[in-house]
């Protein structure tokens, strides 16, 4: 009886030790989340700043600069990886100078004991261990042969159903790569911090804002300003319509500015401003600029 109890205690201790080891190998996620939007759904991921700080800084900066927008998944190998193309060659839109400066940088290899399992983010590279740049893979299955050879810097936190959809797309073989038949474009990307935006509703509003998609409004304010100018333009009407976001924590304003010159010339455009206090400054600026334009 004593031996059985001792054996049970040993097994329990071994199980706890195993759990501790596994936990030790799973680094803590930082609070930042990044979302890639595709026509098949969103993929959200977090970073491991404690095990790959330089890699995380580099990738996160590229995200903040919009570097991955219009890029694509050039490789989808079911059960293995979905790989994002290098930013310098994979985008359909041209890069600005700041994006280009960051995209061409390489990152020193930060290799850890974290395992390559489904959902893990792992940097792509050439033979040089310090040649990783901006291409990375999302693991679609376990790949122990990659452990310790490629820098792991994060994991998928939401969107496994999107990865499953990508795995089901038709592919073709080109050399060692299995590639999708159609381009899987990253339509846009955005990021947020779970420590300050831990409400699903807030995240939804932020997503619509940064993706420039439809914004649900709570109220509308229409301000009409009329003032006389010189005889060539007897009257200028400025119609300024503000659409306020429904959440006061995210006071985004979508502004539609319409300039009406006589009956024949109308200029209209939309833009976004970040808080309601901007309205008065913006209106005064419009009045000032329109007056100058009318006098030319």
pLDDT recorded at residue 62: 96
Would you put residue 66 in left (φ > 0), alpha (ψ -120 to 50) or beta?
left
83: which residues sit within 8 A by CB, 6+ positions away? 73, 74, 75, 76, 124, 135, 136, 137, 138
Full-model pTM = 0.61
pLDDT recorded at residue 202: 54
223: which residues sit within 8 A by CB, 6+ positions away? 239, 240, 242, 279, 283
Residue 267 has pLDDT above 90, yes or no: no
Which class is domain 25-208? mainly beta
pLDDT classification of 217: cutoffs 50, 70, 90: very low
Would you put residue 148 in left (φ > 0), alpha (ψ -120 to 50) or beta?
left
Residue 248 has pLDDT above 60, yes or no: no
Report the pLDDT averaged over residues 18-27.
55
Report the pLDDT averaged over residues 207-219.
42
Q: DSSP string spanning 268-286?
A: EEEEEES-TTHHHHHHHHH
Q: Looking at 33-42, 134-143, 206-215, which range is the least confident one? A: 206-215
Residue 7 has pLDDT above 90, yes or no: no
Report the pLDDT averaged over residues 242-267.
42
Share of the chain above pLDDT 70, in %: 57
Of 202, 190, 204, the C-alpha closest to 64 is 190
- Cα distances (Å, whole numbers) of residue 127 to 88, 124, 132, 149: 19, 10, 10, 10
Residue 235 has pLDDT above 50, yes or no: no
- What number of residues does the chain have? 296
144: which residues sit within 8 A by CB, 6+ positions away? 115, 116
pLDDT recorded at residue 183: 96
pLDDT top residue among 124 and 222 = 124
Q: How far is CA 260 from the centre of its chain?
A: 38
Domain ranges of the chain: 25-208, 217-294
């Amino acid at each position: 009886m004593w031996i059985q109890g001792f054996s049970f205690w040993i097994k329990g201790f071994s199980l706890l030790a195993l759990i501790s080891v596994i936990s030790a190998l799973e680094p803590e996620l930082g609070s930042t989340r990044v979302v890639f939007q595709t026509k098949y759904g969103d993929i959200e991921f977090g970073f491991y700043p404690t095990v790959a700080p330089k890699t995380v800084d580099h990738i996160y900066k590229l995200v903040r600069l919009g570097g991955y927008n219009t890029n694509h998944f050039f490789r989808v190998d079911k059960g293995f990886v979905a790989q994002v193309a290098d930013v310098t060659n994979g985008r359909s839109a041209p890069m600005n100078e700041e994006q280009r400066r960051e995209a061409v940088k390489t990152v020193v290899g930060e290799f850890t004991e974290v395992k390559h399992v489904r959902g893990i983010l792992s940097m792509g590279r050439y033979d040089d261990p310090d040649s990783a740049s901006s291409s990375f893979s999302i693991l679609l299955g376990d790949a122990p042969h990659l452990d310790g050879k490629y820098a792991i810097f994060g994991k998928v936190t939401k969107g496994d159903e999107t990865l499953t959809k990508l795995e089901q797309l038709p592919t073709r073989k080109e050399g060692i790569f299995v590639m999708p038949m159609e381009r899987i474009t990253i339509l846009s990307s955005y990021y947020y911090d779970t420590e300050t935006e831990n409400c699903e509703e807030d995240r939804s509003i932020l997503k619509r804002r940064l993706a420039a998609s439809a914004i649900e409004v709570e109220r509308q304010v229409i301000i009409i300003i009329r003032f006389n100018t010189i005889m060539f333009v007897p009257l200028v009407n400025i119609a300024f319509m503000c659409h306020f976001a429904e959440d006061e924590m995210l006071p985004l304003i979508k502004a539609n500015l319409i300039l009406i010159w006589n009956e024949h010339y109308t200029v209209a455009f939309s833009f976004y401003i970040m808080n309601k206090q901007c309205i008065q400054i913006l209106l005064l600026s419009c009045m000032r600029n329109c007056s100058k334009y009318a006098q030319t």
